[in-house]
Amino acid sequence: MLKTFHIPRTKTAVGAVLLFVAVSILVYGNSLSNEFVSWDDQSLIVENPIVAQMNARTVSAAFSSFDPELYIPLTFVSYQLDHLVGGTNPFVYHLHNLVLHVFNSLLVAWLIWILIGNGWIALLAGLLFAVHPINTEAVAWASARKDVLSAFFFFAALLSWLGWKTNRDKKLYTLSVLLFLLGLLSKVSILMLPVALLLLDLCFYEEKPTIRLLKNKIPFIFLSAIFGFIALYGKQANLVQSTLFEKFLMAARSTVFYPGKIFVPAGLSPLYPYNGMISFAVPAFYLSFLAVVLGLIFAIFIRKRNRHLSFGLLFFFLTLIPSFFNYYKGGNVYVASDRYVYIPLIGFIVIFAAVIRDWLHSADSFKILKSRKIILTSVSILVLSASSVASARQAAIWSDNETLYGHVLDFYPEAGGAHNNLGMEYLAQRRLDEAVEKFQEALSIQPDPRVNSNLAAAYFQKGEFDKSYAEYLKVLKFGPDLPDGYYGIGNIYEKQGKLEEAADYYRKALGIDPKYVNALNNLGGVLIRLKRWPDAIATLEKSLELKPDFTESYYNLGGAYLRDGNFEKAIENLDMALELKPDDPDALANLAEAWYGKKDIDKTAKYLKKSLYLQPGNPMAMDLLFRMKRDGYVK
């Protein structure tokens, strides 16, 4: 039975903090220079209007939005704070993740100290958690903020609960409930906390499994139920992609998969794709199922004889359960994700710490104890050093898109999603032939209309409009609920000067997704060319409502107001465009045009000169210069 809630002395706590900070910086310091990657970072952070500002409206939006599947309002607020400090500088976001991981590692060490009763072993356990390679994804990936943030509240709630169990201080009980709520607002995956509390009761307080044990868990169970329903609502589209039996089989497979990566963390990857048949007839599935069943039976029956082993195994499995609904992502199947084991890993760390403690306690002489301590120290240094090197290398793969997806393909060349994402990176770099090749490889692994859309975009940039059009038709055929096919054909028609047809297809795209800001922006641009100024203005203003930092929409809206004769509004929007993109020669030329409309020749000349300096011969600037000469303002 746990009778003592250890509280470290101030000097001990400060020393531990400094040690964990130093080790974490040494191991994960390279992640601070990582870029944002295309995998969720763009949608969650860089292009997310909720994150771009912190005010009553955006905080309210954070608490009334999904990501799009998960309800993570507190994570959004944490990103807002990062944006407030450093804008979209990745350093700030990565540093925040690292700080949270340091705190989590300290909390883990504290938890192990309470459960094991040995401070030095707890320190080793906390350091192992800090540097274990399987945790690298949660630290080095900015979008994994929800995992490290929710884990912080999970561990803190667990410790507060243990404090209440020992001291019966109602404030600690209330604090535990509050921390759990904050954790659920960060990510719902910690909803198994009530079960973890029940495990603590059964394994460490020698309480029999009765209904009475649930009484003090009611607030926690209530919160888990509420957020569980919210999570199911957000993931309803994902849930229907597989049958319950398939989820059951994949759950068994991943449960067996993770321990292998924990004990031998080699070949770690952001993606673990599976392209085979999900069936009980496949040995990997029925053997995994058998292993899980036997493991659970063993853990339950061993409870009274070895409480730490029982707790560790059951904690690992039960806290892993929320991840059992996440195998299907973007139409692809993945066996596991490293970040999903961030909290479940504690189960094995508890077992590891208990084994070491018992091994030391079993020494029947001082000489044997001393030799065992030397062995433990040597092995610990070796394991922690090897883990640190592996984690530092793993953190480096998150440095940019090309490195990230290239790493995945080194281990899993059949990962269609990685081929597609690498193709998108090549597309962004204008390496168009390589992009086409990657998209074609992705399609050869698994047909996907979204990849057809990306391939069409690559052909479009190459100027091969017939091939692009053919791919977009495939999008319309196989992905009729995707707006990209209509949007892409609209782009082709606009490029060919078929403006009415382009506008029609942009409207069709918006009929599927009214918040498709690129379609709104392009439609606004087409309406300008069709000289429908009021319609263009209304369309572009809607685009900016949805994405307040959309440079191109400010530019187009400024152009619409300029051609409509509203020079004040034109200047206002063009100033915004230039604030976001200061060296845009076209925006500068339009701004000069607006000031010329207001007869302010000095400001006209100022912006005209800058436009021509940035792009000598800019057509709009040259046209204005010709008119200024004609009007006698320039000799």
DSSP 33-73: GPPP-TTTHIIIIIT-HHHH--SHHHHHHHTT--SSSS--H
The pairing of strands 332-333 and 328-329 is antiparallel
Whether the Cβ atoms of residue 529 and residue 562 lie closer than 8 Å to each other: no
What is the set of domains in the chain, with CATH numbers? 10-396 (no CATH), 483-582 (1.25.40.10), 583-635 (no CATH)
pLDDT at residue 391, rounded to an integer: 97
CA–CA gap between residue 247 and residue 452 (Å, rounded): 28
Q: What are phi and psi of 333, to 5 degrees?
A: -110, 130
pLDDT at residue 326, rounded to an integer: 80
pLDDT at residue 431, rounded to an integer: 96
pLDDT at residue 238, rounded to an integer: 67
Whether the Cβ atoms of residue 280 and residue 290 lie closer than 8 Å to each other: no
By CB atoms closer than 10 A (0-12, 13-18, 19+), residue 243 is exposed
pLDDT at residue 121, rounded to an integer: 96
Up-side HSE of residue 273: CA atoms within 13 Å toward CB? 20
Structure tokens at 344: 């479940």
Whether the Cβ atoms of residue 239 and residue 380 lie closer than 8 Å to each other: no
Q: Where are the alpha helices (DSSP H) in 496-532?
A: 499-512, 517-529
Which residues lie below 8 Å from residue 76, measured CB to CB, with a gap of 6+?
A: 48, 50, 51, 62, 65, 67
CB atoms within 10 A of CB 431: 16
pLDDT at residue 240, rounded to an integer: 67
pLDDT at residue 9, rounded to an integer: 85
**CA distance readout (Å), 473 to 410, 484, 486, 504, 572:** 33, 10, 9, 16, 40
Which residues lie below 8 Å from residue 396, measured CB to CB, with a gap of 6+?
A: 30, 31, 403
CA–CA gap between residue 56 and residue 58 (Å, rounded): 6
Q: What type of residue sits at position 403?
A: T
pTM of the model: 0.88
DSSP per-residue codes, 325-381: G-SEETTEEBS--GGGGTTTHHHHHHHHHHHHHHHHHT--SHHHHHHHHHHHHHHHH
Radius of gyration of the chain from its Cα atoms, rounded to whole angstroms:
29
Whether the Cβ atoms of residue 458 and residue 435 lie closer than 8 Å to each other: yes
DSSP per-residue codes, 174-192: HHHHHHHHHHHHH-GGGTT
Instruction: Reduce the DSSP state of residue 273 to 3 states and report it.
Output: strand
Dihedral of CA 424/426/428/433: which sign? Answer: negative
pLDDT at residue 245, rounded to an integer: 86
Which residues lie below 8 Å from residue 422, measured CB to CB, with a gap of 6+?
A: 401, 402, 405, 406, 409, 438
Up-side HSE of residue 428: CA atoms within 13 Å toward CB? 11
CA–CA gap between residue 79 and residue 75 (Å, rounded): 6
**CA distance readout (Å), 209 to 201, 317, 319:** 9, 19, 19
CA–CA gap between residue 323 and residue 336 (Å, rounded): 9
**CA distance readout (Å), 475 to 135, 416, 452, 505:** 38, 17, 6, 14
User: Which residues sit opposite 328 in a β-bridge?
Assistant: 333
Q: What are phi and psi of 2, to 5 degrees?
A: -80, 120
CA dihedral angle for residue 410, residue 25, residue 120, residue 340, rounded to 10 degrees? -40
Residue ranges with strand state E in 126-280? none
User: Which residues sit opposite 329 in a β-bridge?
Assistant: 332
Average pLDDT per run of 10 along the chain, which is 635 residues long? 74 92 96 93 89 90 86 96 94 98 98 94 97 97 97 98 90 97 97 96 82 90 95 75 84 95 94 88 92 95 92 97 83 88 98 95 90 94 97 96 95 93 95 97 94 97 96 95 96 96 97 96 96 95 91 95 95 94 94 94 94 94 92 79
> Of 579, 552, 567, which is closest to residue 603 (Cα–Cα)?
567
Structure tokens at 374: 């030397």
pLDDT at residue 277, rounded to an integer: 87
pLDDT at residue 65, rounded to an integer: 87
